[in-house]
Amino acid sequence: MGLYSSRSFFDQMIDMLEEVEARAAMVDADPSIPQKTRALDMNGNKQDFLDIPPKEDRLGPYLTFTPLEQLLYYNADRGDKKEPIFIARVSYSKISEQENYHPVEFMDDVEAANRFAQAVKTWKNTKHDQAIREFFSMPGVHIQHKTTKLVAFGLGEFCVKPRPSDDLGGYQRCYDSIRTQHAVFQEVGRSLQAYLDQTSPGDEITLVAQDPGYSALDKRILKDMDVRAIDHPVRGIMELDNESAVFSIGAGFPVKQVVFAVSRPTMIIWQKPSKRGLAHPAKRRWLFPRKAEDQYEPQSPSP
């Protein structure tokens, strides 16, 4: 279990991702080369995992962790066959095996910015927004440890167009909710900054958001909010230190397990995924994809 409790573990994850992506490039150059993805077993050994699909049938790569609860109670005995327990693995999925698959398409700059601005405006007109500000300004509130960074995990990408197979009502509710989560994250950051201005003048809160699904347009909008967006599946985790607070709503990975492996956060604002699975359909891609299609550079619509 010690592997899952240090920064070196996540350094290994970065290495595995880069190694598998390099392998995939070799397969693309010479399809006759038998190449597999990689996984890390309980002894810290890298092992071959699933085959790398052809480029035209490939999605990913995906980095997945096995939650600690499963590691503790996992039964490796399967009859006469013993299977290795993987604590993390890098793999690809096949487009041909995806039901109703459609390539990801993004909104244009103007539509995305307008939808996000409307979500922020709607949120600011709620009693919950006011409650956050009032909480951090209450005389009795005391944050015991110095907090200079707020890191969000898995809030979801929010500039995606609906697919033909999407229920438009459900799609709209889903992505409006994701935009609202970013608005809440921003408000918590502002409230923490106001708290610091009173208790530790001169200190500033840095806002960092990690989601592997972020597109170039998502990151551009977040930059305008003074949020540093990270789409790498591991490097946001490495941002954590003992002056960090964590914000996560329904992320599809073991947030607390990962967070406490690398830091002791000053606070965690957290909601687990719903019983039906992940909180929002858009977050199902939180199995850490590195998106090959994310060379997208949004353009404003022609007048």
pLDDT digits (tens, 9 = 90+) for 68-83: 767 666 554 444 455 6
Identify which of 29, 24, 13, 18 has the alpha carbon closest to the alpha carbon of residue 50. 24
| Percentage of the residues of the chain whose pLDDT score is greater than 70 | 78
Per-residue pLDDT at 182 exceeds 80? yes
| Residue 15 scores a pLDDT above 70 | yes
- β-strands 267-271, 244-249: how paired? parallel
Mean pLDDT score, 16-35: 89
Average pLDDT over residues 208-237: 92
The stretch 37-59 carries a mean pLDDT of 87
pLDDT of residue 175: 82
Residue 136 to residue 205: CA distance in whole angstroms: 14
Task: Give the residue range(s) of CATH 3.40.50 domains in the chain.
Answer: 109-286
d(CA 209, CA 184): 12
Checking if the pLDDT of 294 tops 80, the result is: no
Q: Which band of pLDDT confidence, cut at 50, 70 and 90, is reported for residue 213? A: confident
In this prediction, residues 96-108 reach a mean pLDDT of 80
Residue 108: partners with Cβ closer than 8 Å, 6 or more residues away: 298, 299, 300, 301
Helices (H) and strands (E) in the chain — how many of each?
7, 11
pLDDT classification of 278: cutoffs 50, 70, 90: very low
State residue 233's pLDDT score: 84
> Which residues make Cβ contacts (< 8 Å) with residue 236, sequence separation at least 6?
151, 153, 208, 209, 210, 230
257, 280 Cβ separation under 8 angstroms: no
d(CA 242, CA 245): 8
Candidate ranges 58-62, 63-67, 134-138, 222-226; pick with highest mean pLDDT: 222-226
**Average pLDDT of every residue of the chain:** 79
Name the β-bridge partners of 92. none
Q: Does the structure show a pLDDT above 50 at 299?
A: no
Alpha carbon separation from 47 to 37, 258, 299 (Å, rounded): 8, 22, 43
pLDDT at residue 8 above 50? Answer: yes
From the list 152, 160, 118, the residue with the least C-alpha distance to 296 is 160
What tokens were used for 85? 């327990």
What does the pLDDT average to over 151-163? 87
Strand order in the sheet with 46-51: 46-51, 36-41, 86-94, 58-65
**Whether the predicted pLDDT of 253 surpasses 80:** no
Q: Could you tell me the pTM of the whole model?
A: 0.80
Distances (CA, A) of 173 to 127, 162, 169, 252, 281: 20, 12, 6, 19, 11
- CA dist., res. 255 & res. 126, Å (int): 28
Q: What pLDDT, on the 0 to 100 scale, is given for residue 5? A: 57
User: Rounded to whole angstroms, how far apart are CA atoms 90 and 92?
Assistant: 7
Q: Of the CATH numbers 3.40.50, 1.20.1740, 1.10.240, 1.10.3110, which one belongs to the domain with range 109-286?
A: 3.40.50
Beta bridge pairs of residue 46: 40
Q: Supply the pLDDT for residue 285.
A: 34
Q: Among 8-22, 146-160, 171-185, 262-276, where is mean pLDDT lowest?
A: 262-276
User: Which residues have CB under 8 Å from 7's CB, separation 6+?
Assistant: 238, 261, 262
Kindly tell me if the per-residue pLDDT of 192 is higher than 60: yes
